[in-house]
Amino acid sequence: MGTYILKRLLLAVPTLVVASMVIFLLIHIAPGGPVRVMLGPMQDEVLVAKLRHQLGLDLPLYQQYLRWAGKALHGDLGISVTIQRGASVMSLIVQRFSVTLEVAFLSIVVALLIAVSTGILSALRQNRLPDHIARVIALLGVSIPNFFLGIMLILLFGVYFLKPWGAGGFVPLRESIGGNLIRMLLPAIALGTAYSAIVMRMMRSAMLDVMGQDYVRTARAMGIGWASIVRKDIIKNALIPVVTVMGNAIGYLLGGSIVTETVFRLPGVGNLIITGVFRRDFPVIQGIVLTIVVVRIVVNLIVDLLYSYLDPRIRYGRGE
Amino acid sequence: MKKMKCLLLVLGLGIVLISSLAAAKELRVGIATEPWDLDPAIRTDTGSGYLIKNIYDPLIELDQNNEPTTEFALCKSWEWKNNAQTIVLSLRKGVRFHNGTDFTAADVKYNIDWQLDPENTAPNKGLLGPIKSVKIIDDYTLEVNFTAPYTGALQTWSRALDGIVPEGAHGKRSEEKGVAGFAGTDLSRSPIGTGPFKFVDWVSGAHITLEKFNDYWVKGVPAMDKVVFEFIKDPAAMEAALISGSIHIVDKVPFRDFATIKRMPNLVTKRIPGIQTQLIYINLSAPPFGISKDQIGDKKAIEKAYNLRKFLFHAIDREKIADKIFYAMATIQYGPWYADSDWTSPKLKKMTLHDPELAKTYLAKAGYSKGGLSFRMMATNAQWFVDVSTVIQEQLRPYGVTVEVIPIDKSAFFDTMYETVDWDTGMEDWGLNNFLAISWLYSGYYRNNHNHNHWHHAAPDLKKEYHESVPGHAEFCAMYDKANVEPDEQKRKEMAWKMEEMVTEDVIQIDMMFLDNLHAWRDTVKGYGDGLNSQGEINLKFITEFTGP
């Protein structure tokens, strides 16, 4: 197992190098830079040149890349030039990432709570009323875009019922746990619902698949209680494809949800990227995208390791 | 036992939530953009201005009629001397900075000197005027001498010195600091002023928190203990937050929603003519509306470009744009300045703007009587610029003119406009930062090497990247230089009229309309409307009472 993890981590290095080069190129190919936006009405050519020099934008592209990559290797992702002038990119990412992490965690909790329970119920009551209801809900969950659901939730809870606390906004955890949680609830529901629909369908079909397996029939023939079979054999085995979907979902959610964060006014990673792009804050965009790539690599690794826990037949590190 | 534990957990969570909701009683202000820099001497964006207004006090304030006033200003009174070449300022006593130091004349001198220092590249240095010297008479009296009469000082200082900082507060200079440095100054993220609110913290992407400054020099101000400025990009989210009471003041209301918001219970609205002008930049250094380097002195090419600009000027129906995009909440311009101002040329006020027949005549004179003209219009893709451009596209179609609308973001727009001549027109806006017509003429048209329209004249310092474009710029600059130091107001006004006529009749750019500022706030915030003026600022000093959501 240790060898496998090491191998995967080593493979991550070229991935990171290529990803960082692509990010760097894409950002610099796009028209427009941060300098003139920073200077506002004061478009003096001497200042433009001075600032470009300070930011290293007057260097050839490969030198700019090497300079940035060299610093990034030492954990220095540079300084924000237009989002929060002078602030270190790393501190901005840490600040924003904690918000995204919290939303992602709560969304996954919401998604799993809805999906696993309805998926199990749906499979156990196949083609009966609970199954039909669950499938309709799942269809709606997949079909409704989460920004629309977000706005509807704000209208319902923010404007009519829970006002004013349901209308979004952000309270840091250190300021108020309750204030933070109540404002995170609706974004988590908006994001989690979409995933719950996908996971619920996955859970249902995996359950039905497992329920038709020989070992389940054998277990029943041996007189083992149905509840015990469902709990110990069916659900555990049905969870494998769910873990894959959730793994992808976590990776995606940790990259920040631009639309949901904007609608609910959350200062997460998605929000940071979009502001960075509009303000051409090159160091921030480069830093954040690199971080997302790292997170995706780590999440994928964890998901792969989880497989072996859920299915003992899967073993890594022995010529798999 | 397990059930009991669950119940206790739920109860505990409920108590935490309820207690946090009960404690949440602070004024929350929604602003569309996150500030960039809280140092008043180097900020260039609107979002920072909202904060600066409440953390700092200005030397001179502008009232609701945009006239200089000492209300909430650090200057108590002023006296002009020496034919408007000297101004003596009396400053307030008993004013303290947030760091505990007393405010004196030395602080004002420091603020002026710091901006005048070319090394600091302060963006509003030009607004300080032709300052020769700044003399401290005593702790609370300051004398400022100009090299020439400068009667507009109070107006332009209301912007250039809109936040007085303590002596030495900008910090040590370094290569990375200042407006032309990516690190800002010591005040960029830790502002210190004399204003009613002290800076507490800045949560990137979310909000900035301010708290009451107990030593504020105006008794009873501010009316609340804490203010949170929330950054809310999405207008729909902003409105929902206002309606729900999650925020209490918004910086602006979208035009399409103003009527709806106005009808809502518990909300107060106010519409004020604004200072944001909507204009079309025209590239005068390339055909079709200008001339290329090869065409310098070519009278036919100059004439053709002129006719096409005149066509554009008369073909655009500004009223329809105002109705369609801004729901008639805009004031049409008859030149660069406000139509109802004495400083707008009486001749221009009588001009017919939209005249299809005249437009056709000019188009025919330019050789396009059967249509066939095609040009590009860049429009920044934030706000309404693309919408306005597409309306113009529709308006010009009947003339056989094709407009290619190019949505582009602001940074790319600026880079293209300032660094290339490979563009035809650009749709943008510009916020006036003072109420002097002369000053606006300077910002919009004066600089030879650098103005929005690439309007240049032959001069020894003209950079090789640029070339002499359509005629008139040298004459314009000469007239501006005279007008700027003319002490007689009537004469100065007449010179301003002449300059306005030059740029409007030659269609150097098309100044279309000033948009109204649309404000909204909850009725639990009393007095807020009294502090609003056409600059669209958020001035919390005027709030007399805040009774909660």
What are the tens digits of pLDDT across the range B380-412?
887 799 999 999 999 999 999 999 999 988 888
pLDDT band at B478 (very low <50, low <70, confident <90, very high): very high
Residues B302-319 have pLDDT tens digits of: 999 999 999 999 999 999
Residues A172-213 have pLDDT tens digits of: 888 888 888 888 988 998 888 888 888 888 899 999 999 988
pLDDT of residue B179 exceeding 50, the answer is no
Q: Which of B244, B277, B440, B447 to mutate to test the interface with A (most CBs of A within 10 A)?
A: B244
Question: What mean pLDDT value characterizes chain B?
Answer: 90
pLDDT of residue B178 exceeding 70, the answer is no
Cα B516 to chain centroid, rounded: 13
Least Cα distance to A3 among A320, A306, A316 occurs for A316
pLDDT band at B9 (very low <50, low <70, confident <90, very high): low
Measured between beta carbons, the chain A residues lying within 8 angstroms of B13 are: 178, 181
Selected residues 40-99 of chain B with any CB under 8 Å from a CB in chain A? 44-45
Cα B168 to chain centroid, rounded: 27
* Residues in CB range of B343: below 8 A, 6 or more apart: B337, B437, B493, B496, B497
pLDDT band at B74 (very low <50, low <70, confident <90, very high): very high
A39/B237 Cβ within 8 A:
no
| Least CB–CB distance from B244: residue in A36, A50, A159 | A159
pLDDT of amino acid B297: 92
Burial zone of A310 (CB within 10 Å; 0-12 exposed, 13-18 middle, 19+ buried) = middle
Q: Decide if B449 touches A, using CB distance below 8 A.
A: yes
| Least CB–CB distance from A45: residue in B206, B430, B449 | B449
- In DSSP terms, B123 is beta-bridged to none
- In DSSP terms, B242 is beta-bridged to none
DSSP structural state of residue B163: S
Selected residues 368-387 of chain B with any CB under 8 Å from a CB in chain A? 382
Q: In angstroms, rounded to a whole number, what is the distance separating the alpha carbons of residues B125 and B123?
A: 6
The residue type found at B268 is: V
What ipTM does this complex have? 0.73
Taking phi first (over 0 means left), then psi (-120 to 50 degrees means alpha), and beta for anything else, what does residue A78 get?
left
Phi, psi of B447 (to 5 degrees): -60, 130
Least confident of B171-180, B487-496, B504-513, B534-543: B171-180
Residues B138-167 have pLDDT tens digits of: 999 999 999 988 888 999 999 999 999 999
B176/A51 Cβ within 8 A:
no
pTM given for the model: 0.83
Lookup: tokens for A16: 């990171």
Q: In angstroms, rounded to a whole number, what is the distance separating the alpha carbons of residues B127 and B134?
A: 15
Measured between beta carbons, the chain A residues lying within 8 angstroms of B443 are: 41
pLDDT band at B229 (very low <50, low <70, confident <90, very high): very high
Q: In angstroms, rounded to a whole number, what is the distance separating the alpha carbons of residues B545 and B525?
A: 6
Q: How many CB atoms lie within 10 A of CB A182?
A: 22
Instruction: Assign 3-class secondary structure to B437-490.
Output: HHHHHHHHHHCCCCCCCCCCCCCCCCCCCCCCCCCCHHHHHHHHHHHHCCCCHH
B204/A92 Cβ within 8 A:
yes
What is the average pLDDT across B171-182?
A: 59
Q: Which of B9, B17, B45, B199 to mutate to test the interface with A (most CBs of A within 10 A)?
A: B17
A268/B450 Cβ within 8 A:
no
Lookup: tokens for B281: 């930049």
Q: With beta carbons less than 8 A apart as the criterion, state whether A59 and A239 touch.
A: no
Cα A306 to chain centroid, rounded: 18
Whose structure tokens read 């310098």?
B296
Q: In angstroms, rounded to a whole number, what is the distance separating the alpha carbons of residues B378 and A162?
A: 44
DSSP structural state of residue A205: H
pLDDT band at B472 (very low <50, low <70, confident <90, very high): very high
A165/B183 Cβ within 8 A:
no
pLDDT of residue B22 exceeding 50, the answer is no
| Least CB–CB distance from B230: residue in A42, A163, A265 | A265
Chain A: closest CA distance from residue B414 (Å) = 6
Rg (alpha carbons) of chain A, rounded to whole number: 24
Measured between beta carbons, the chain A residues lying within 8 angstroms of B406 are: none
pLDDT of amino acid B320: 97
Percent of chain A with pLDDT over 90: 12
Selected residues 24-43 of chain B with any CB under 8 Å from a CB in chain A? 24, 28, 34, 36-37
DSSP structural state of residue B531: G
pLDDT of amino acid B19: 47
A182/B183 Cβ within 8 A:
no
pLDDT of amino acid A175: 81
Chain B: closest CA distance from residue A2 (Å) = 39
Low-confidence stretches of chain A (pLDDT beneath 50): 320
pLDDT of amino acid B12: 54
B183/A86 Cβ within 8 A:
yes
Measured between beta carbons, the chain B residues lying within 8 angstroms of A169 are: 28, 230, 241, 246-247
Chain A: closest CA distance from residue B332 (Å) = 23
Least Cα distance to A244 among A234, A252, A232, A256 occurs for A252
- In DSSP terms, A254 is beta-bridged to none
